[in-house]
Chains A and B, each alone.
Chain A
Amino acid sequence: MSKKTIHIPLGSQHISLLEPVRFKFECENEKIVGVDSDVGFVHRGIERACTTKFKFDAIGYVVARVCGLCAITHSLSYTVAIEKLLGGEISKKAKYLRILLLELDRIHSHMLCLSHTCENAGFEAMFMRIMGDRELVMEIQELLTGNRIQFDYISIGGVNRDLDVQTAKKIIENLALVKAKVFSYIDEFTNNWSLSLKFKGIGALTLEDAYRFNAIGPLARACGLPIDVRNEIEYLPFDEVGFKMQTHNDGDINARNMVRLNEILNSLEMCENILRGLPEGEIFTKLKGKPKGEALMRFEAPRGELMYYVKGDGSAMLNRVRIKTPTFACIPAFSHIFMGEEYADAPAILASFDPCLSCTAK
């Protein structure tokens, strides 16, 4: 083997990527020995816009536009941080409805990620199947909130729409259909050669490295690191609705897929529990005043931990809104995983991370 290395870029426009990210790989023959990443292609300056252009009560809708897939987690984290500053408690029903939408969002986001993993393994038919089944979830999201992706469901003080009986019935029906489909995916992802054996041992991260690089989300849980913000916050009653931590020990692509599939099942169970035991009450409590002081709120987005830091000085304009998105915090871990892998596996590994670059660059 010669000592000479070659540089091969992946992105920013690449056939297997949906997102504008560029990795510059330094390769020794087929093996990757060095990684350099560029993630700032879609920077829109949302943090600055939040402190200069918009008043605090409109920012919930602004930050929802950071990302299409985890829009609900963004607006929820911001809104809860503001609610903390304003003081005052929102009703239990609103909290349950917030969890319901959060989990529906997680289901459709994980399904999207799984379908892209299939696509990058060369399994187009499965990609289309999962994308088709994902419509079942999108449909109920539209019924519940009025829109497929930009829900705009959460406002300061509660939620915007109530759940009626017909919608609840439709949600239960569709979730039962999704559940049957997810079991068939689990079968495919464990027994199909191109989805399971091919992925075993590829792109692995050890538990030690997961701790060292502060990995989060399904990436960390696939290595056995028990980090899930749903377990670490008191604000929403996740333990009441049946949250269970899903972990795996292998840390490779297959493990990440299995963690995601198990999380979908857990989310489905949580949604059912919420619909069965939805408490009575108002969905909206009016909160008055202007935010003063600083608050920090974390939530579990589909890709991992999302953090909002909000600082206000008692006026309608905020002093600082800091958004820490899951993919942004994982970039050092991503780069570490690529080291020592083969270049040909890079697209599949990248798809298994489920990166969200529009979150990262905000």
Chain B
Amino acid sequence: MTTTETETKKLTGAQIFLECLKKEGVSEIFGYPGGVILGIYEALYNCDYIKHYLVRHEQAAIHAAEGYARVTGKPGVALVTSGPGATNAITGIANAYYDGYPLVVFTGQVGVNQIGNDAFQEADIIGITRPCCKHNYLVKDVKDLSRIIKEAFHIATTGKPGPVVVDMPKDVLSSSSEFVWPETVKLPGYNPNYNGHPKQVSKALELLCDAERPVILAGGGIVASDAMEELKQLSEKLNIPVTNTLMAKGVFPETDSKSLGMLGMHGNFWANFAVTNCDVLFAIGTRFNDRITGCLKRFAKDAQIIHVDIDPCSINKNVKIDIPIIGDAKNVMRAMLDEFDSNNYEINYEVKQSWLEQIHEWKKRRPAIEHPTDKLSAVTVIQKLYDYVKDMDPIITTEVGQHQMWAAQLCKMTKPRRFITSGGLGTMGFGFPAAMGASVGCKDKTVINIAGDGSIQMNIQELATCVAYNIPVINVIIDNGYLGMVRQWQEKLYHKHYSQTKISGPDFVKVAEAYGAKGFRITREEEIIPTLKEAIECKKPVFIDVVVEECEMVYPWVLAGNPLNKVLLSNDCPIN
């Protein structure tokens, strides 16, 4: 058997780069040219199989590639130049690393002989990206280029997905070599374990069958492993409720009677109560971030915890695990289902049913939340927005802050890859370029970026990109004139000293018009639906400036470091 396919023609590194992308099935990339990667842009000039989207800032190229990856499930690809081009990309790379989405980021580098001499636009991008990407490569010889690109895509998309950086010096791109595409990768130090240990799987299943108050905690790993069906079946067969993390919105329909919705700092309090009081917690593909655990000592304190993760590092990192299972979520849950079906496990269906009823009792305790002023409430806006678009199977992206949490609470997702948000790194400025990439990845879908007036200003320049390619992203700017989430912490925890959180912005309608996009403003509730309708129908990039109440707070709220069940439901209404 031949392991390599050899083609005799000699190509430049730049041409090899494009050939490799073709082999990997890449058809759309996001990038920004610069001195050392001009060779690639020269090769792109006559390339008919790759569409390049010219962004307005390299950070946005990476976020766009991530948005693309999140909605399509394919790796996102970005191309930036050396030095500042590459350093601008760092936030995007770190963001994808935290949230575990596959990217291959190509950076230009000064010529091999110039490296280390402080050449123009030189940066040690391998050193800089080392702690914030899954792996990185400096290509020193054009003969290694195709092998490295093959490995980069392999590493990015397997195991726990993540970004891989390939740094390509100028002379590597200009020198020639035969193009040899390796059919296999040889990485002896990289063997992700996909199948859980059968004994652990049986132990976990037994524990879940016997549990009286079990909860499934679904994390973003379920999206990566495409394990929605297995999750649904497990929940149904074993009669176990499911709570999801922010990253796992849509992996289990949030409208399902067994769904507890999102847990955590701003999650549903009944989900937090359920996790606090459960006797068995079945966590799948989650890192146990502090935003979902609250005080670690009190987290699921009486529970035996089963944890399935493909990344061994996630296990026992924050939370002590009783039954660890290293493997792919889909394979492990499939094994559990097969075992359950073939071995006549008995389950205490009624006991579990009364636990579900207990949780439903908790749900009822939610008091009505009043909106004290005559200004528009952000909650009303997002609720109305989602009610209007939900049947269109829209893609919702968010920036980071209050609007993000309201969107997470109010948009009840029924499918994965439809709620795109920066979870781990919490990157303001992520939503708009991610929406752009999502729209490129799913051209027939309505893409709405729910933004704040602070975070939209962090990558507002991408409006030019959207106009240039007519990418019809609708930005709904929840405009309260504050960095609202920080303001909220200041109100409660920093003596109402609103230090540097009142933030001004431009006239977003005029900004939109200046860029050649559509601008709208909403100040009254009855304007919401007609404006949205027009925005969706115009098929153009849109800014909708929604002027809302300044001081609205996100509730429920578990203050940082508090136990999950110590929830504030409004300013003076704790529930415990």
A associates with B: no
The chain A residues found within 8 Å of chain B, CB to CB, are: none
